[in-house]
Structure formats: structure tokens, C-alpha cells
Structure 1
Amino acid sequence: MISRSLCRRAGAAVSWNSRATMPLASKIQNPAFRAQMATTATNGATIKELPGDEAEDVLFDTLYGLRTIELNRPKKLNSLNGSMVRKIVPRMQEWTKSDMANIILLKGAGEKAMCAGGDVAELAKWNSEGPEGQQRSTDYFGLEYKLDHMIATYKKPLVALMDGITMGGGVGLSIHTPLRIATERTVFAMPETTIGFFPDVGASFFLPKMNGAVGTYLALTSDRLKGANVFYAGIATHYIHSTSLPSLEARLAELRFNDYDTLETRLSLIDSTLEEFTTGLPHDEPIQIAGAMREAIDRCFSPNSVPEIIAALEAETGETQEWAQKTLKTLHQRSPTSVYVTLRQMRLGKTWSIKETFQREHQIAAKFMRHPDFTEGVSALLIRKPEPGQPRVPPKWQPASLEDIKASDNVAEPFFEVEGEKKLGLLSEEDYTSYPHAKFSLPTESQVAQYVRRELKSRKSIVKGFVQARSGKQGIKEVVEEILGKYRINPGTLHEDLPIQLGSYRHSLISPGGPSQLYSIAVRCGECYGSLVALAKDGSEAAVSREVAGRFPLDPDSDEGFAMVSTWFNECIEKHPHTCRLPGNLTGTEVAEFPTRLVDVGTDGDLRIRLIDSRGMTGQYAALSHRWSLNPTEHFKTTRLLLDQRKAGIDIDAMPLNFQDAVKVTRKLGIQYLWIDSLCIVQDDTNDWECESAAMGQVYNHSSVTIRAAPESSRTSSKQYTGGFLCRPTGATDSPTVEIPYRKRNGELAGSWFMQPDKGATSSKIH
């Protein structure tokens, strides 16, 4: 890749700096300088410099094909204001028309910050002047969001150097660029709830797309990520030491593109160039949001109401209890209104397009400018100085605490009322529902999960596959290994080449092809290796103690089998409110929003089901996890041509047997709706597929139960299945079983437990 970069370097091209002194004639003739003179031009837009704007708060440099935007308020940590926006927008508009501008680089002056956020102290002063000042603050946010939307939809390569503090408004300038560089000095946070505001600048779009409930956690708590962890979390696309940045800028300036190169081609070349400057990840900086903490975040921040989140944190025990107590203290220090609004924002924002995101956030910001918490929060934390030797007086929020807010108060909803006549007019109509250049980021959990479900592979093969697919990109190995480890796949595995299966669902129905691998022990003996599954009889001491998780399988298509499943399901709802809770609270007053489409399974005896548009609906639904057939002609799916037909009705007998069984299970559990990816996502609609697949993790997470179906095409030849996952294979024989005495922890004998070969996981036959 180095040679590829070198072959596109400029020969004897001359570089110049826009701050250098040049003869007037040279300035006028130089196209780049004409762009500099056009700072006040608007190209039909309304953004231009105003009298009184600060001089040189933004510096623009040119080096060969590289155009640099440098925020230049280092004493204020490069905090963003209207004067800076009014300089940046016209310049970027000019560069879109210039063939000489190849790459645009965003950075901050000094070593402390790229941009610590917006200049909120100034906004708080305006708000204190009354409605006129509040409108002035609202207008500033409109200006800022127009710039953010321009960056998010820009048609030339953008690179952001997130070197130093990058928070709030600084995140808006960087997070929407295709290529984002973190260094050892990077500090990321969305600190808005600390000042009585909400995570804006497009946070509604990018935070819900983070793995699991991490985005919600960062939004509500304002927790910080530093250095390599900004990269691990997917916020940055690259991690490079700050000492390499000057050389990197020089290399970027030398890159040349063909006129016919697409934006994707240009970004790919820049991506490979950035990789040349990586020098390894710090060994003393492990992944911060990982392991038990990550699992606790998903448990505690997946609910859809603040009281549930508080209850889940209070219920944490063991190694995450200290973290949970600290997090509870943090939440109680935040603006209660901000916490409620932000949680609602995280749930609604995942369905917004990038254009809708900035328009909706502008209206939310306007309402916060009229709410007392913003001015109070900024004044208490940034403006009012404490007496010498005295601690800072905390903000006086209205309402004062989370406990003061009742469900009937409906605190958040007014912030999301759409005022059509006040919709923000953006600088372009460009729009999308998922980032178009996400491939330059590290793999997400949903991407790893989809890869694993396509084919049974070993852990080593999965990691190797991702590393090869991303051309050896730094960080791929570490992140994929962490994702696989999060799912606690094959606890006790002794041989890392054994195939693994991925499962992260709250409830799972185990198909009869063999007990779940989550209960198995991997073993190796000479050339033979495989898995043994531990089983206990219901009601035995081994089962009651929960030390042996496996159970002897019943006939899954029998009344006895369905009764057992219903018992498990109801036990989870009634006895495990924080670990196996249904989406929303258990009183039924608030439940998770439905995916875009669901299958209405009807009732027992109905011969047809139908696809429905379910966005905006709430309640319980089941989700099916299945492996697609290897033969594309056998796929039963929804296409644009078949969409209306699917909504009119689907003959159950025409569906694959696994789908028929999933409908049966859903009905038996008393659930009305079922999500099946191939039916609920329009498979030949690129926009629909990208939007819905990005939300797939949330779909499974919010389902009341996930049904994992053994793939019909994966049955072994010795066990011919005549039906779907509910049917036992014909000719199946009982596995050899070894009975083992069970001893309590005090050594007392108390019955038995059993071990069998795990037929579904064995790779080389073990007897």
C-alpha cells in the first residue's frame, strides 16, 4: 500500500501557505486564494461573515491538494461559536467547486483540544436576556447544525484530527466525517446532561448506532473515553500517535486522484495511507467498556424508562456493584429533565435520517433555551465562581431530582413535539439513514454476529476472516476478539479451533438438534475433539442449584414441551425483573417500540398471516434467529415487488418449515407479532436493508423472546428431519449417557447429573 501511495505523489509541485505573504497579482490568479477571498460569499446560502466577527478564529491553509481548517481559539479550547461557523461554511462551499481541493482536514490549534464544544457560556448570557436572547441562542444552534449537516453529506474526502479534547460541538464537527483520527491525547464525551441540555450535533443519529446500550450510557452519564478507547468504541476510525500528525499531513497533501475516481475510491486510498502511520495500540490501555462492565451497561441501560434504569443499577451486585453505585450518583447529579429527554431521544433517534436528525434536534434545542435548566447548569458550572476555598455550588434543577418526576408528568414528550413551520432549513437536501462510509470503522457487534451466523466457524477463523477482509487494519483483531468474548461462547473451551456459535439473546428456545453449546464443555483427546453437554433432571438438586444448566430435552412439539417453555418464559417475567425483563416496565404502562415491520401471526387455526407496518406501535413481539438456505432460490423473502402481497396475506403452508414452527411457537406463547428478517426487511431495497440491518441488534434486544431455529439445510445425513426445528429427526437414537454423582458444596451426596456427547457441536466423533 505504501507503493500505491507513492505512485500518486506530486512531482515537483509547488506548495504555499495561505498565511504567507504573496504578491497581489499572484494572490488574485491563484484559485485557492480566490477561495480565501470568497469567505463572505454565500453561493445562494445565507451564511456569511458579519461585522464584529472575531478575526482569525479559524485559519485556512493550503498545501498541494490538502485544505486545512484549523479552529484557532486555543485559550478557550477551540470552543465553537457563530463567528467560526460563518467562516467555515463559505470556504467549504467554495472547495466543493475546486478541482485543486483534494482532501479537507479539520483540526484544532494547540495540543489541548480539537474543540471542547460550543461556547455555551455566551448562550447562557443571551438566554438570561429573555425571549429575544433565547431566540438568538436558537439561531446559533441552527447555524451550527447546518454546518454539521454539510460535513455529514460533503462530497469530498474529509478527515478529522480528534487530537485532544473533543466534546459536544467538537464531536459534531468530527463524528460525521468518513475518517476520524484519535491520538493518545483524545478525550471524548457528550457532556450535555451536566449543563441541563441534551446530546445534540447529530448524537440522535450516531449514539443509538453504537454497540448495545453503550450509546445510551454515554448520553445519560457523560462518561469520558480517552485515547485508544475512542478508537475501540468506533468513534474514531484510526488511532495514530500525535507525534506522527505533522508527517501525516504532509503525506495527505501529496496524494493525487484521477478525475474519474469516486469518493469511495479516494477515501479508500486515504484510509490505507492513514494505516501507514499507525504504530500499534498502547498495551497499557485495555478496552474500557468491556467484559462485566459492558454486560452491566447492556443490562442497566437497555430499558425504556428512567425508573427502570435506576432500578437495574440498584440491583447490580458482585464486581459491577461499585460501578453501578458510582453511575447512580452520576445520574442524580444530572439535570432530571435532561436525563428524561435524552433517554427518549436515544429511542426515537434511531429511526431518524441524518437530515431529520438535525431538524428535530434544532426544535429540541429551541425548547431547552426556554427551559431554566440550561441557563442554570451553564451558570453554575462555568460562569458563577465559588468563594475562595469553597466548593462550587451545584445547579438548582427544575424539577430538582429524578424522584420528583412522576410518570404522569410527561416531562420529555413536549420536547419532541414537531413544529412544522419552524423546521430548520439546511444547506442541501442530501439525506441518508446510515453512514455511507461506515466500512472504514471497526466492525460492530451486529456485523460480527451476522458473519458468525452465516456459517459455523472457529474463533480463530472468525478473527482471521475480519482481519483479512479489512486488509490487516489496526484494531480489528482486538475488537473482534472482545466481541466474541462478550458472548461467553463455549465456557471452558480448551481448544480454540473448535467451531463456535454466537448468541446474545435474553430468551432462547433450544432446538432438538442437540443441547445448547452454552451448557457444553469442549474436550480434546488425541486427534478427536468435540463437546460434552452437562444435563440434570428437573427438580433434582443439581438442577435446583443451577450449577448444571442443561436439561433433558422434551419433545418440543408436544403439549408438555410447550408447557415447559411457557413456564420458563413466565418465570423470567415474574422472578427475574432486571436480568430477564421484558422491554419496558412490567406493569405494561411502557413497552418497547416495534420495529418498522412485523408479522401478525393471528390465532390458532388461522391459515394465513400478514406483514404489517408497525412503526410507532408498542407491545410484545417474538424474533426468529435462523440461518438462510445456501440455495438463493429457496429464500422466502420480501422484495419490493412482493411487499404489498405480503401485507395482503401469506399462506402459512407456503412458508419454510422453520417459519411455520416459529409462528406456532409465537402463538403458543400468547404473543401476537413475530419478526423474521427475510420477511420484515425489503431485501432488494438498499436503503431499507441498510437502515433495518443497522437496527437488528435493537430488534433482538427488545424482543420478548428470541427463537433460535436450527437450519434445515444443516441437518446431518444420519438424521433426516422431516419438518422444521420443532420436529425430531427420524431415526434418531438416544446418545450414550454417563451418570455422575452430584455433591453439594458441603460434600453431601445429592442425586446425580449426566453427561452426553453434544451431537450438534462435535467435530470429530467422541464416544
Structure 2
Amino acid sequence: MTGGEPPVLVRREGRAGHLVLNRPRALNALNHDMVVRIDRALTAWEHDDTVETVVISGAGERGLCAGGDIRAVHDDARDGDGTASAEFWRDEYHLNARIARYPKPYVAVMDGIVMGGGVGISAHGGVRIVTERSRIAMPETGIGFVPDVGGTYLLPRAPGELGTRLALTGEHIGAGDALLCGLADHYVPSPALPALLADLATRPVRDALADHARPAPQGELAAQRPWIDTCFAADTVEEILGRLFDHGDPAAKETAETLLGTSPTAVKVTLAAVRRARELGSLEAVLNQEYRVSCVAMGNPDFVEGVRAQVIDKDRRPRWSPRTLAEVSDADVERHFVPLGERELGLGESAL
């Protein structure tokens, strides 16, 4: 964002309405104002017959969106009472659900970095485009938090236990693996994006994609499915780690080491959230669960410490509390799922 430009650029190009996240210096990190602006534009275009397609993309060269404005949430957790963050998540999660139900083609250009909240405003869309530059992740366990914005709805729907691995480790994936895991639909080489977007001004999405989409490069996860499915099917994080270390594949051991670097509390809560999400059915039900989990997780010491270590001081040496998996009890996990009473998100399909 430069000068007096807004954090979301809203413009029309022929039959397409464009939303451009416009905080490139912050890698287009999503804040409350941006959520409100996006929702307002979607409302206007939903009832405008001259707008046939909505396109969301990011300003700058680095990516669509690095996630929510984590510094603001960190400051609220450290110095405030959490109200501002809860209100942000309330509107953000409603927006995620709205995107999933939007009645017009919603084209998400997932070029470059797409993490956390960036996944929420893209991967629920009807047309999700990745490129050779795409790096997609839900990295929350590394900052003492838990995947949200519908991430625990999307990831369990990946083949086998691929989504469980991605949720617990926060690892990045490229275009081929995003397609395999159901987080994207089409691969378009980045040099072809300008022509594709220009075509959307005059042509239906399907016709434009037919000219510009290409087969995606092979990812890495398909070849790793045997050990991923075996190891991550375990019922506890401790058992997952045991299977990873015992497997013998060097990649399995590397994954175990990654998992050991995450917050013990966050990774146990994440496994519970992913398993429960499989049984909830609808995106709305999962978002309601995520809201409860997020409001509790923000108050954990690991969240403030994780953001400090990974984002603010960048020493990459978080001091987790509790320090080990064994110290995180079932009761510690369960308290993240307790209903919030009057503070519930209360998102239902009928409201959309």
C-alpha cells in the first residue's frame, strides 16, 4: 500500500470484478478492515448482473497473502483482552463461508505465498489457480496456534492422511501437491496470468482457462503416501512421532523433527480439531469449532511466545509452555472445544 491507496483495490474490468489485496510490504497480510472491504464488494457484485466473475489476487511479486495480521493479534493477546481479535475472526470466518457459497465464479489467483488467512480467502473459492511460484501452507502450529479459516475443514479432505501431516507440521507445498490435496483446481504458469486475467474481462472463466491452464509439475506427496498414511493415522501425536522415527525413510525422520519443533499444546489441539472436523460435515460447523479453538488458543502462552520467536524477534527459538507433549493433558486439549455461550460464532448455512 502506497500513499493514500486503500488496503484492498476494488475495480471493474469488463465482466469481471477484481479484488487486489494491497499491502505488499506486509505480504498482503489480512486485517479486519480488509475483510470488511472484501465482504462489501462481494455484496455489491452479487446483486450486479453486469459482474459475472470475481477475481482475487495480491499486489506485489511475493504472493497473494501471508495470512492474518498476526502482529495485531499478538499485541491484542499480550496487551489487550482479545476482543478485537475475536471480532476480526468473527467477520473473517463469515467471509470464508460466504466465499464457499458465492453464487458467481470466484477466481482465486494463488500465486506466490498463500498461508493461513490467505488460504481462507482463496481455497474456499470455486476456481483456484496455482502457479510454479505457489507456496501454500497452514503454518499455525509453529507459532503456538491452530489452523483456522476453514483449514481444518479442507485438510482432512485431502487423500489419506496428507492433510493431517500438513496441519500438524505446517509444511509448505507447491502447485502439484496443492492440486493433489484439493486446495487448488488449475495450474497456470505465472507468465500466462496477465493474459488470463485480461481474457476474464470478456470471456467466461471456463473458456479462458481452456486457453491458459496447463498440466501441473509433479509434487512430492504422492510418492510419500505410503509412510504418511501409515504414520499419521495414529491416534495420538506421540504415536505419530514414534511411527515416523521407526519407519526408516529419511523423509519420515525429517518430518518427525519438524513436528518436534512445533508447540506441544498446539499440535495436540490441532490433531483433535482435524479428527473432529471429519465428523462435523459442513464448513460452517467446522468454522464454529475453529472459532472456539482460536479464542482459547490466543490466550495460551505459546501463541505470544511463538509469534515473538518466529515473527518479531525471529530467533526461531520458542520456549513452549508446557515444554513437552507428555505435559499436555487431555483436559488441556478438551478446554479448547468448550462452547463459548453467548460469544459463539453461530454460523449456519441458512444464514448464507
What range is the shorter-chain TM-score in? Answer: over 0.9
Higher relative contact order, structure no. (Cα contacts within 8 Å, ≥ 6 residues apart): 2
Preserved CA contact (<8 Å) 1:146 1:427:
no
1:686 corresponding residue in structure 2: none
TM-score relative to the length of structure 2: 0.94
1:419 corresponding residue in structure 2: 340
Alignment of 1:304-323 (within 5 A): 304-317=235-248, 320=249, 322-323=250-251
Superimposed CA distance per residue, residues 160-219 of structure 1 (whole angstroms, 9 cap, x where no aligned partner): 000110010000001110110000110001100000001100012111111000000000
Q: Which one-letter code corresponds to 2:148 in the other structure?
A: D
Alignment of 1:60-459 (within 5 A): 60-131=10-81, 134-255=82-203, 270-282=205-217, 286-291=218-223, 293-317=224-248, 320=249, 322-352=250-280, 353-384=282-313, 392=315, 394-406=317-329, 409-426=330-347, 429=350
Preserved CA contact (<8 Å) 2:108 2:128:
yes
Deviating above 6 A after TM superposition, structure 1's stretches of 4 or more consecutive aligned residues are: none
Counterpart Cα distance in 1 of 2:298 and 2:216: 42
Q: Which one-letter code corresponds to 2:320 in the other structure?
A: W
Preserved CA contact (<8 Å) 1:153 1:430:
no
Q: Alpha-carbon deviation of 1:271? A: 3.1
Preserved CA contact (<8 Å) 1:355 1:430:
no
Superimposed CA distance per residue, residues 283-320 of structure 1 (whole angstroms, 9 cap, x where no aligned partner): xxx331123x2100000001121121122112202xx1
Bigger Rg, structure 1 or 2? 1
- Secondary structure of residue in 1 paired with 2:56: strand
Identity of aligned residues (%): 38
Alignment of 1:602-641 (within 5 A): none
Preserved CA contact (<8 Å) 1:164 1:186:
yes
Superimposed CA distance per residue, residues 13-41 of structure 1 (whole angstroms, 9 cap, x where no aligned partner): xxxxxxxxxxxxxxxxxxxxxxxxxxxxx
Alignment of 1:481-496 (within 5 A): none
- Secondary structure of residue in 2 paired with 1:351: helix
TM-score relative to the length of structure 1: 0.44
Q: Which one-letter code corresponds to 1:415 in the other structure?
A: H
Counterpart Cα distance in 2 of 1:427 and 1:56: 31
Q: Which one-letter code corresponds to 2:253 in the other structure?
A: Q
Distance 1:143 1:239, change over 3 A: same
Superimposed CA distance per residue, residues 206-258 of structure 1 (whole angstroms, 9 cap, x where no aligned partner): 11111000000000011111233322333210000111111111211112xxx
- Secondary structure of residue in 1 paired with 2:17: strand
Q: Alpha-carbon deviation of 1:384? A: 2.0
Q: Alpha-carbon deviation of 1:63? A: 1.1
- Secondary structure of residue in 2 paired with 1:145: helix
Q: Alpha-carbon deviation of 1:395? A: 1.1
Preserved CA contact (<8 Å) 2:96 2:149:
yes
Q: Alpha-carbon deviation of 1:428? A: 6.6
- Secondary structure of residue in 2 paired with 1:247: helix
Distance 1:94 1:373, change over 3 A: same
- Secondary structure of residue in 1 paired with 2:284: helix
Preserved CA contact (<8 Å) 1:150 1:427:
no
Distance 1:368 1:73, change over 3 A: same
Q: Alpha-carbon deviation of 1:86? A: 1.6
Distance 1:88 1:393, change over 3 A: closer
Counterpart Cα distance in 2 of 1:160 and 1:209: 19
Superimposed CA distance per residue, residues 329-386 of structure 1 (whole angstroms, 9 cap, x where no aligned partner): 111110001110000011100122111121221111110121111111111111125x
RMSD: 1.7
Alignment of 1:642-653 (within 5 A): none
Q: Which one-letter code corresponds to 1:304 in the other structure?
A: D
Unaligned runs of 5+ in 2: none
Counterpart Cα distance in 1 of 2:316 and 2:220: 31
Preserved CA contact (<8 Å) 2:196 2:212:
yes
Q: Alpha-carbon deviation of 1:64? A: 1.1
Unaligned runs of 5+ in 1: 1-53, 256-268, 386-391, 432-767
Q: Which one-letter code corresponds to 1:297 in the other structure?
A: I
Aligned partner (choices 38, 46, 58) of residue 8 of structure 2: 58
Q: Which one-letter code corresponds to 2:192 in the other structure?
A: S
Counterpart Cα distance in 2 of 1:65 and 1:77: 28
Counterpart Cα distance in 2 of 1:357 and 1:325: 31
- Secondary structure of residue in 1 paired with 2:350: coil
Superimposed CA distance per residue, residues 364-413 of structure 1 (whole angstroms, 9 cap, x where no aligned partner): 1110121111111111111125xxxxxx151111111223335xx43211
Q: Which one-letter code corresponds to 2:338 in the other structure?
A: E
Q: Alpha-carbon deviation of 1:145? A: 0.8
Counterpart Cα distance in 2 of 1:341 and 1:333: 15
Preserved CA contact (<8 Å) 1:202 1:358:
yes
Counterpart Cα distance in 2 of 1:313 and 1:276: 43
Q: Which one-letter code corresponds to 2:310 in the other structure?
A: L
Q: Alpha-carbon deviation of 1:270? A: 2.3
Preserved CA contact (<8 Å) 2:52 2:105:
yes
Preserved CA contact (<8 Å) 2:169 2:255:
yes
